[in-house]
Structure 1
């Protein structure tokens, strides 16, 4: 690990770690202020109020009996006064019936919370921070468990994360679904650690998935700080996904494990610099086990590649060492036997082994074979990179849409889409 860190330090400015130290200190202060985090709802689950609960949910919220019965397994009550006060409070704050149904489905325990003493102050606090009525209803509907937490700072931090995630155009709609999984585990640690990553410049779309995940990198305190320091010193850019990947990998490996894996690569002919470059390109490459590496070598040698050629391919495209033997054989067989590209071409373009055979390689190659059979691009195979490495749009522009014959273009599109 020490050797990898030394290589990384050559490409990272030392002030980044000083900034990180400041961020860690700030986060520690934040951590101390969250020591009293707790839920304010103490539900009674099941019990003799189950039948009453089912009837109430059907009559008051329009749930089907099946849905109501499912919810009643998570919470039950015997009187309607408290749930009525909760529903009335939500309606007064602008929540629609649809949003209220979503909230109760995701977090039914809210129905037995104290509307005036617990829920109302939280909604008022969020409004006092400048949340508009539409923002408030959208965000609380997305993460209703927010109202089950205690402490304005805790609520504020999570509210901000959800808000920024929903407003961030770079985040896909799948992140909105992720919001429904409220952070589990030690919330204090997660808030502190994710706040540190935020100050370093890690994009929101990565932060929120880390926050709600049960995976390890943002759990704990000392191990997180130790791991983060290593990743920063290695020179990973915090604004990229590879920074988060590296954080995941390094967190899960001991010093002894890392040294053992570096030695595995050395046996393949890599020096430490090569291992570092591969790790920078593909952080998960450091997770490769000895068995996986030996299986990969055996697979590639069996297909006619030399050991040196395999090492060269790994240096250019580290993920190829983790591809399944079955998939490598299928792809190599198609490229070298059915398409007749020489083995040296595959060695020079190892990324093609990472492309989907069914969705990318076969459709494009079928177009090329048809064009060659008609003498429209000559009898010689075009360069592999121009066929497989270009984007779909560029491939179609170069080999399909450029033809003036509309009938031919339609035929080529049929071949491309039918493959």
Structure 2
């Protein structure tokens, strides 16, 4: 069950190949009718040039250009052009370079020879390929501003000792390289909190592999989340303890209270909310709109009672379009014809497609064609197709 939940954790898609840089950078300009106005309002000559450059070359809005120019000022394009030249030389496209600068405009004044290139060299020494490094620069440009000696190298060494595998370490960094930027403030103290609570090292390893982003939470927030999970009587020796920590870290108090209110609106008691969370913590990580839509379908289409849904709260974490609606529509027809009594929700929505079709479609020979057509139509509305290997 844990693997079912973990597979629903979002991760970054693999990087895609990009075309090489096609044009000299100075030929690319963003058109903006607001440039002159923003420049007029910017004040000094240097500040005026900075604002115009950020708007015309980097595509900043006039408001953000003015804001950034207060902390980033240059009178010519000499230094910022070095930044773009650096990205070009490392195989990044124009669009990618602009994206990096928009995320971290301070890089326009970085010393790429002394500060940035050594980080690239370090990643290469650790076995990262050029596409890997481009991916890291694109997704987490803040790493280019982090200290190599104080943050990146200590984080590499610390994580390497925990993961005990270069392959695992590489996967974690490509999943969330930001974990290398907060060694002393977040990474090390957060790991120590888990160890102090008696969390097995093997579980710490899995938590890093699945949820590396959480280790960049502030140590204060991380401690509070762990303490809250302890108060709920979850066992630190079990992996679910860390799953609940992940959920707690990802939800603000205001969001938590709002979702409790939504479940109450649909008829859950406080005890049912508590029991559902303890059984399937992800029910509190589902978006407000998704909770509303699934509850509406289960209650008003399938006639489920709130109590039944609370005892099967895992179904709230599956896809509404790909699973709840297509499968629920089949069950709705079977119920209307008196061919089945209401099955358990887990039995409908959790099994794989082959099991579902065998149990609820092909078993009913006279209605199979109609049910299959309905199922495929609902999937098509969501932009999906049923697996051909299961079509009989």
3-state DSSP class of the match of 1:208?
A: helix
Matched, 1:370 2:339: no
Report the count of equivalent residues: 287
Matched, 1:359 2:322: yes
1:197-224 deviations in Å (ceiling 9; x for gaps):
133224422223433x3xx774242653
1:340-361 deviations in Å (ceiling 9; x for gaps):
1233321221111222323321
Q: In structure 2, what is the Cα distance between the partners aligned to 1:279 and 1:245?
A: 17
CA contact (8 A) 2:291 2:316 kept: yes
Matched, 1:342 2:310: no
Cα distance change of structure 1 residues 276 and 165 upon mapping to structure 2, 3 Å threshold: farther
Cα distance change of structure 1 residues 308 and 73 upon mapping to structure 2, 3 Å threshold: closer
Give the TM-score taking structure 1 as reference length. Answer: 0.53
Who is 2:14 aligned against?
none
Matched, 1:286 2:248: yes
3-state DSSP class of the match of 1:339?
A: coil
5 Å matches for 1:233-382? 233-235=198-200, 236-240=203-207, 241-242=209-210, 244=212, 246-249=214-217, 251=219, 253=221, 255=223, 257-258=224-225, 261=228, 266=231, 270-271=232-233, 273=235, 279-287=241-249, 288-373=251-336, 378-382=339-343
Who is 1:158 aligned against?
123
Cα distance change of structure 1 residues 412 and 150 upon mapping to structure 2, 3 Å threshold: closer
Structure 2, unpaired ranges of 5+:
1-20, 31-52, 59-75, 79-84, 99-109, 383-392
Q: In structure 2, what is the Cα distance between the partners aligned to 1:259 and 1:65?
A: 49
Structure 1, unpaired ranges of 5+:
1-60, 78-85, 87-98, 109-144, 168-174
Cα distance change of structure 1 residues 67 and 206 upon mapping to structure 2, 3 Å threshold: farther
Greater C-alpha Rg: 1
Q: In structure 2, what is the Cα distance between the partners aligned to 1:293 and 1:275?
A: 25
Task: Choose the corresponding residue for 2:152, options 175, 190, 195.
Answer: 190
1:22-73 deviations in Å (ceiling 9; x for gaps):
xxxxxxxxxxxxxxxxxxxxxxxxxxxxxxxxxxxxxxx8628985457995
Q: Which has the higher contact order (CA 8 A, sep 6+)?
A: 1
1:52-103 deviations in Å (ceiling 9; x for gaps):
xxxxxxxxx86289854579958968xxxxxxxx9xxxxxxxxxxxx97945
